[in-house]
Structure 1
Amino acid sequence: MYVVYILYSSKTDKYYVGSTDNLHDRIKHHNYGATPSTKSGAPNWILVYYETLTDKSSALKRELEIKRKKSRKYIEWLIQNHKY
């Protein structure tokens, strides 16, 4: 099982989109400042959205789909309209 996720940092007021097969550990990794692209937002990253997918290829494809939109409005729409 793979997850596409969106994190939000109130420290930087930014979203981060990623994918992983271990969401809990990945969020800890972001909050420890171990990822260069999210280090400035640590330790304030919180999970605001996720989707589960069956395989890594599908997860990477979906992650890129979200990132290619380059739209904060789209990300906020996803967050507001997603039902878990």
Structure 2
Amino acid sequence: MNSPVSITTPLDPATFAMVEELARYRGITGEEFAAEAIREAAEHHAGMRAYIQEGIDSADRGELISQEEMEIWFEERVAARRRG
């Protein structure tokens, strides 16, 4: 089983107070709130990194869309939305 590791980082007083207030509101500790926030941020950034890499890989394979094709697609979407 993996044991938790700790991170120590300075926070300005306003941010620290906000973390403590939000943690209290949720019934958890500031440490639990911080750990959850870091986990969520890491998952978000990992997902974005994978999404960007997927685009790079697609471009490397030559799977590209021209500016003209994109404009046509966009205009079709706008027209469809206006129709209802």
- TM-score interval, smaller chain: under 0.3
TM superposition score normalised by structure 1: 0.26
Structure with larger RCO (C-alpha < 8 A, sep 6+): 1
Q: More helix per residue: 1 or 2? A: 2
Q: More strand per residue: 1 or 2? A: 1
TM superposition score normalised by structure 2: 0.26
